Each structure stands twice: as C-alpha cells, then as structure tokens.
Structure 1
Amino acid sequence: MKKVLHSDYISLQNKFDFLLKNFKSSGELIGSEKRNVIKVFEIDGFNVNIKSFKKPNLINSLIYGYIRKSKAQRSFEYAQVLLSKNIGTPQPFAFYENKTITGLKDSYYFSLQQDVDLMFRNLIFEPDYPNRDEIIKQSAAFFFKIHNQGIEFIDNTAGNTLIKKVDENKYEFYLVDLNRMNFHDSLSLEKRIKNIAKLTTDSYINSKFSEAYAPLFGLSETDFYNMLMEASQTFLDKFNRRKKLKKQLKFWKK
C-alpha cells in the first residue's frame, strides 16, 4: 500500500492505518454507496473524512496504475494547490493507493470533515433560505476569485461547494470532489460561463449571480445573464442525453 501524508500530519499515520483497516466495519457513512464510499471517523478531537474511490475497471486500473495519477492523488495534490492560493477546501491529510502488477486496485483520500452550514444546492431547493441573495452574491465573488487564478473546476456542481456562515453577513466557501481540475494562465469568458453554468438552470439564482459577477468582469449584467442561461440549458441537455444513453446501455447489457 502506497501512503503519502501531508508533512504536518505524518504523526497520524498509524491512526490513519487503523481507520482504513476498519473502514468497512466502522465509521459514519456519508451519502450513498453507489459509486464512491465516504465515511467519517473521529480521532484526536476532530473528524476525518475518508473517500474510497470506486474500484476501476481493468483498463482504468492499468491507466491509473502506470499512466495517470489516481483520483485520490489528484484530490490530495489539488487541495494543496487551492489552499496555497487561499481558496477554501477541507484540509488534506493523506492519500493511500493499493497497486498490483495489473494496476490500481483501491485508492483513498483522507481530509478534514469540514464543518459547514449548507451546500450551494440548498440555495436552489430552498427559495426561502435565510440571506439567500447575499450568499449568492458572495458565491459569485468566490468563483470570480477562482477563475481569476486560472482554475477550472470541472465538477462544479451544486453539491460540491460547501458554505459556512462565519458572521451575520459573511460566509466562507469550500470546494470538494477535487480530482478533476484544470489550471490555466487565464480563463476566458466562455470557460467561466460554462463552468458557472454547471451549478443550476434556476433563472433567479443565475440573475443574482450575474448581478454580482458581471461587474467584476466588466460585462453588462444582461449580456452575462443571457450567456449563462444559454450555457446552463446546454449543459442540462447534454447531461440528460448522457443519462438516457447510460440507461439504454444498461438495458442492452441486461
């Protein structure tokens, strides 16, 4: 088993080993087990989030074993990049990989279980969420900061931005599910729009988001909003087509 720990947390290796040894039989399950398995464990007064990535098929096992970095390794490394740029993400602790001659078998990402109050998706499904407009405004500023540093967060969906209230009118933002990111010297308006469009097709949220983001970029709110709504609908259409295709493939496999 390959083990790589953050330099500040090397002393916890034995405890991390113990948690992984008992991963299947203990810990608090977060979400479903359809793809990846995420569990939370308490050690030394804080909570450790361990993400067990879905076992890759034979081809991907070879690719992640010999050609590409595993999802766990990328999550660990990208988290450190974000923190170095003062962008919120749960503190990374370590990643573990189990490889054989046929490639990658298992991989795990250890990080802090971040204490938060909501996810961006709460703003979509709870129209009466307290201070909703202000949170959307600050979300826009958060993503503008990310984009200005050339960061393209591929899995920028509504469940991957965590939000914590730190004051009456101040919020902190944290990105999770980091294994797919691109880093550019700069990010074009088109890439920015496409990235934001993955969050929601909700016209009200996109309107408020545009009000905050467009002036920062130097574009009219109307133009930004129209581009965002078109891009979000395009993304939704592509998502639905992929979902339909997967169902058809599963049907024919049966």
Structure 2
Amino acid sequence: MKKNKEVHQLFKDDEALLKTIIKNFDSNGEVFGNQDRNSLKLFQFKDMTVNVKSFKIPNIINQVAYKFFRKSKARRSYEYANKLMELGVGTPQPIAYYEFTTPFLFKKSYYISEHLDCDLTYRELTTDLDYPNHENILRCFTRFTFELHEKGIHFLDHSPGNTLIKKNGNSYAFYLVDLNRMNFGKLDFETRIKNFSRLTIHKSMIEVMSDEYAKCSGEDYSKIFNLMWSETEAFQEKFHRKKRLKKKLKIKK
C-alpha cells in the first residue's frame, strides 16, 4: 500500500520512531478510552506520552471519496489542530498523520498527538451537578465557546467528551479533541447558539450558559435561552428517535 504522511516540524527528527509506533500499533501500546468507533492507544514517545488514533477503514463509498475527493479524518484532525494552535485555542500538540491507500481505495489512517492529562472533561459537569466550583467552570467554558465563535471556529462535535479541562490555580484551561469536523468562518447568531445543543440535558446548565453567553455577546438572555433550550430538546428527540430505530432494527434481525 502507498503511504502518505505529514510530520510536524517539531518532530521531523523523530520520523523513524513515529514509523515504528504506526507499524506496531496493533500489537503494542496501551488501550485508552472508548474503542467502539475507532481505536485509541497510548505510546511512550521520547519524554512524553502520545495518543494515537487509528480510524477504522471506511465503507466502500468513502474509501473512494477519501482517496480522490475528500481529506481523511486523520488529515483533517492534524490540520485543524494546527489551525487551532495558530488561533490561540487549546488542543493537544499535533505530531503527525499517516494514511495508507491502494491505487483506487483509501484504507487505514492514524492521527498522533500529545496525550494531555486533564482534571476533568465537560462530561463530569453533566453527571455531577455538585462538582466543586461547578457554576464557575460552566461559565468559564461558556466564555471559551464564545471565544471560539468570535474567532470563526464552528466545532461541529461540541459534545461532552470533546473538551478537556485543566485547572490552573483559580482559573481553567480548555482543550478541544476529536477535531475532524470543523468549519471556519463568520458564525451567525443561530449557528452560535445551536452549537450548545449537544452538551447537556439539564435545564439548569442551559440557564447558566445562556446567562454567561448573554453577558459575553450583549444579546438578550431570554432570546438565547429559548433558542438554546429548544435546540437542546430537538437534538435529544432526534438522538432518542435514532436509538429507538436502531433497537427495532436489531430486534428484527
């Protein structure tokens, strides 16, 4: 198979070691996180731990699309990470991506980044409403999201597990992960508020985020809350409808 890759300039001298990690991905490394869709493993790399994401081989239509027409998820993850860093947005240091193809089809791909130890993710805020300093963290997160929007970043996978949070003294730093779906450009009001729809089912959290976003943007609180809550309800209905359909199809099989 043909290999295509790009290694960050900070790690050009380490290409042989990176190549070894990719070559031995299946047999080495420490399994990390959810393995349902893609495979994630941790590897020791010099004096750091790196996170290697192996994307599953796409269906036949996407094998053609990624070969000839679209950038792969691994490449997009790498390029978007670099873009975020240029814009001053937190994300684990991108290191490299690798792609493997045949003459007509796209096969395996890998994205390598520094592994970041975090204190929590946004998910903990949704599962423990009594988490220490909960409201302050939520307001800081909302300001972080507002800054994304101001910089023209539309993170399409803005969901509970995709923001890592580190405590720095009395403040919090936020880092985006799972980066392969993003748009860049000016965001209108509805797009901005809809970007919160996948984050929580709790009305109390929607109220806090709406209040903080209103303070940041100067928009009316009620206008923000009504839209954010309705979009949240719409997303939840769509999500559960999809789950019910999958369950029915599974039973029929």
TM-score clears 0.5: yes
Residues 163, 176 of structure 2: 8 Å contact kept? yes
Check conservation: 1:152, 1:183, Cα contact below 8 A.
Answer: yes
Aligned to 2:178: 177
Tell me which of 125, 128, 142 is aligned to 2:127.
125
Shift of 1:126: 1.1
Q: Is 1:242 the counterpart of 2:242 in the alignment?
A: yes
Which residue does 1:143 correspond to in 2? 145
Q: How does 1:161-172 map to 2 (within 5 A)?
A: 161-167=163-169, 169-172=170-173
Alignment of 1:52-201 (within 5 A): 52-167=54-169, 169-184=170-185, 186-201=186-201
Residues 63, 251 of structure 1: alpha-carbon distance in 2 compared, 3 angstrom cutoff: farther
State the identity as a percent.
44
| Partner SS for 2:161 | coil
Please, which runs of 5 or more residues in structure 2 have no aligned partner?
A: none
Counterparts of 2:238 and 2:72, CA distance in 1: 26
Q: Deviations over 1:36-89 (max 9, x none)?
A: 000011121101100000111111101001110000000000011111000111
- Report the Cα distance in structure 1 between the residues aligned to 2:20 and 2:243, rounded to whole angstroms: 38
1:102 Cα deviation after fit: 2.8
Q: Structure 1: which 5+ runs fail to align?
A: none
* Structure 2 Cα separation of the partners of residues 206 and 80 of structure 1: 31
In 2: Cα distance, 1:246 partner to 1:15 partner:
42
Structure 1 pair 249–60 and aligned structure 2 pair: CA distance change class (3 A): farther
- The number of residue pairs the alignment matches comes to 251
CA distance in 2, matches of 1:245, 1:190: 29
CA contact (8 A) 1:162 1:176 kept: yes
SS of alignment partner, residue 225 of structure 2 = helix
- Tell me by how many angstroms 1:19 deviates: 1.0
Moved more, 25-34 or 50-59: 25-34
Deviation at 1:250, TM superposition (A): 4.6
Deviations 1:111-145 (A, max 9, x none): 01012110001001011211111100100100000
Cα offsets for 1:162-203 (capped at 9, x unmatched): 100011x2000001111010111x111100111111111211
User: TM-score, normalized by length of structure 2?
Assistant: 0.95
Measured in 1, the distance between the counterparts of 2:92 and 2:250 equals: 35
TM (norm. structure 1) is 0.95
Question: Using the alignment, how far apart are the partners of 1:193 and 1:81 within structure 2?
Answer: 23
- The alpha carbon displacement at 1:251 in A equals 5.0
Distance 1:172 1:118 in 2: 11
Listed as ranges, the matches of 1:224-243 within 5 Å are: 224-243=224-243
Q: Which amino acid aligns with 2:96?
A: A
Confirm or deny: 8 A CA contact 1:40 1:47 kept in the other structure. yes
Specify the code of the residue in structure 1 equivalent to 2:59. Answer: N
For 1:201-220, what aligned pairs fall within 5 Å after superposition?
Answer: 201-220=201-220
Q: Aligned partners of 1:42 and 1:221: how far apart in 2?
A: 47
Letter in 2 for 1:64: Y
Q: In the alignment, is the contact (CA less than 8 A) between 1:201 and 1:229 conserved in 2? A: no
Letter matched to residue 181 of structure 2: R
Q: 1:69 to 1:250 in 2, by over 3 A?
A: farther
Are the counterparts in 1 of residues 206 and 229 from structure 2 also a CA contact under 8 Å?
yes
Decide whether aligned partners of structure 1 residues 98 and 251 sit closer, same or farther in structure 2, where only a CA change above 3 A counts: farther
